[in-house]
Structure 1
Amino acid sequence: MKVTEHIQKAERTLFTIEILPPKKGENIDTLFSHVESLLDFAPSFIDVTYHREEYVYKEQTDGSFKKLVTRKRPGTVGICAAIQNRYNIDTVPHLICGGFSKEDTENMLIELDFLGIENILALRGDPVKSEPGFKPHPEGHCYASELIGQVNDMNNGVYLNSELQDAYPTHFCIGAAGYPEKHFESPNLDTDFDHLKAKVERGAEFIVTQMFFDNQAYFNFVKRCRENDIHVPIIPGLKPMATLKHLSLLPQFFHLDIPEALSREVAKCKDNKAVKEVGIEWCVQQCKELIEFGAPVLHFYTMSRSELVKRVAKEVF
């Protein structure tokens, strides 16, 4: 079932999660255990992230270094298929621009369609860690809006090979990312909303937000979306704070603000156990406010760890 169909049929706010594929060489059973610990809350769909290639430099016998390409977390398509087969839960694989040509993207979409996967979340993706900024594949897309356009073309039976006649149309429900506190590369909010509107105009049918800890940021974001004629469902992304380091790491890596009241309480904690209790309480209150506001879905960034999300969900669902 498509994400939009789940939302249309729902009589209450839905519960969903996002998971990471295991690192190369790790067992998938740990991931299954994480998913199974949350099944009592009936996740309507599960997002599975996709990670682009990374570069490593291996020293050669002559003392020089050879640049090698690796993917540390492969398996997104296989995990999506396994979850749908094992648990009968819809999945939303992430589709990224970085590291993929348009041909790679088309072939991946064909595989997903063959597997009966009906949803995707289309993202530009992060830059390679060793590079200062995002560089697209030479034959790929620069922006998520372009990627969304390709998926939408296939939904209309338009493939890269223009000579194909009566090509089979896919039927993907396309999601896009939204940033309540502005994408860090956008010069201002107006430009950020222009990019978001372009994604919707090219075919995005729902938006999933970056995580936030201040609900007012989400409320303002939804209001501004509606004022900009963006009327698709807007799904808030949430994560319980879990460690003292999160006070600095989350703003650094996700370019978000930590409300003063939350940062003050976390700073009082003597250890991570105390931080988790503060994080759970804060997230529970966020969830209750968001449900009252009418958020269609609460989407939890679990990082493939279920403990804190499970405790939050017990209080909310």
Structure 2
Amino acid sequence: MKITDKFKPGKTLFAFELLPPLKGDNIDTIFDTIGRLAPYNPSYINVTYHREEVKLIERPDGLLERRVVRKRPGTVGIAAAITARYGIDVAPHLICGGFSKFDIEDALIDLSFLGIDNVLALRGDNIRGERTFRPAPGGHPHACDLVSQIMNMNRGEYLDSELEHAKPTSFCIGVAGYPEKHAEAPNLAADIAHLKTKIDAGASYVVTQMFFDNAKYFAYVDACRAAGITVPIVAGLKPFTTKTQLSLLPQTFGVELPDDLVRAVENCKDNAAVREVGIEWAIRQGRELIAAGVPALHFYTMGKADNVERIAKELFG
């Protein structure tokens, strides 16, 4: 079922995002997370994808060899396993980084074959150590280009000429939004203009980056509506868990932390106390957002369910 068909006026859905385990681990870690959160009736689950890392390996002859390393399994198999075991709709991430257009087409064909018709289309991060984004040869430089490719397939237009008579796909496409702007955008207005290009290309809903001040989300939605963006905008939340996140989250994600949250975390004796602060803060955020009728609360679990489980119990139990 398409995610956009699930959104109902006045009803806030529960959703969360999973981080695939590192290679060498098994899917039980994912099943454990889902098993703990399933009682709260998640409407859908996002499965992240992380681009390759590039390492320089010294060969026996002394020369350096560039080696591409993928540290986590892909999303197609994980999404299929979740659907088969739990019957919960999934929205696997598709990224531009590290993939050619033909790689993306192959992934979309596999997802369509498995009956998975929701995807989150993202540009993805830079290669670690590089300051600017570099697409793979034959790949897309921007998420709007990825959205356009998916929409072409929805119209039955494939890159592979042998598939010219293939059945059209029917993907529902989500994209990312940034209430405090993307780190590379010069300002929020420019970032919203870029978001509109993704919507105009065919995306049908938005999932926001994490935020800790609901006022920023509400202002962002208003600014998007003023720019002509009418699709649902899902609120992305992440429970605070450690003191190091006071500097890590603003630095990594460009988010601003409210003074009250900063003071509460700084006064904690240890990270166990920080987790309690994070849980209570997310519950307060969630209650206000639900009261405002947001389409869904999307929790970034980072592969751990215990804190999100407690939040979901309060908000959706």
Return the TM-score normalized by structure 1: 0.97
For these two proteins, the number of residue pairs brought into alignment is: 316
- Residue by residue over 1:212-271, the C-alpha shift from the partner in whole angstroms, topping out at 9 and shown as x without a partner, is 000001000111111111110100000110011111111111111111110011001110
Could you tell me which residue of structure 2 aligns to residue 34 of structure 1? Answer: 33
Q: Which runs of 5+ in 2 are unaligned?
A: none
Structure 2 matches for 1:213-228, cutoff 5 A? 213-228=212-227
Compute the displacement of 1:306 (Å).
Answer: 0.3
> 1:90 offset after TM fit, Å?
0.5
The one-letter code of the counterpart of 1:154 is M
Alpha-carbon displacement from aligned partner over 1:125-161 (angstroms, at most 9, x marks no partner)? 0001021211011201000001000000110111124
Task: Return the alpha-carbon distance in structure 2 between the equivalents of residues 303 and 266 of structure 1.
Answer: 20
- The runs of at least 4 consecutive aligned structure 1 residues that moved more than 6 Å come to none
Deviates more, 1:43-52 or 1:54-63: 54-63
Q: Deviations over 1:32-65 (max 9, x none)?
A: 1111011110111100001111012223334443
In the aligned structure 1, how far is the partner of 2:140 from the partner of 2:237?
A: 28
Which residue of 2 is the match for residue 197 of structure 1? 196
Counting only pairs closer than 5 Å after superposition, residues 152-191 of structure 1 correspond to structure 2 as 152-161=151-160, 165-191=164-190
Aligned residue in 1 for 2:133:
134
**Residue matched to 1:22:** 21
Does the Cα contact within 8 Å between 2:157 and 2:164 map onto a contact in 1? no
Q: Mind listing any 5+ residue stretches in structure 1 that lack a counterpart?
A: none
Q: For residue 54 of structure 2, give the secondary structure of its aligned residue in structure 1.
A: strand
Written as runs of structure 1 = structure 2, the 5 A alignment for 1:287-298 is 287-298=286-297
The corresponding residue for 2:66 is 67
Residue aligned with 2:146, SS: helix
Contact 1:211 1:239 (8 Å CA) reproduced = yes
Asked if the contact 2:94/2:122 (under 8 Å) is kept, the reply is yes
Verify the 8 A CA contact 2:156 2:164 in the aligned structure 1.
Answer: no
The Cα of 1:163 is off from its aligned counterpart by: 7.5
What percent of counterpart residues are identical? 57
Q: How many Å apart are 1:27 and its aligned residue? A: 1.5
| 8 Å CA contact 1:148, 1:203 repeated in 2 | yes
* Aligned-partner residue type, residue 176 of structure 2: A
Tell me whether 1:7 sits opposite 2:10 in the alignment.
no
The CA distance in 2 between the partners of 1:11 and 1:224, in whole Å, is: 21
Supply the AA of the counterpart residue of 1:221.
Answer: Y
Q: Distance in 2 between matches of 1:252 and 1:35?
A: 30
AA matched with 1:19? L
Cα root mean square deviation, aligned: 1.3
* Alignment partner, residue 86 of structure 1: 85
**How far apart in 2 are the matches of 1:280 and 1:47?**
21
In structure 2, C-alpha distance between the alignment counterparts of 1:161 and 1:128, rounded to whole Å: 28
Distance in structure 2 (CA, Å) of the matches to 1:11 and 1:189: 28
TM-score by length of 2: 0.97
Residues 159-200 of structure 1 deviation map (CA, whole Å, 9 limit, x = unaligned): 124685443110000000000000110111221111000000
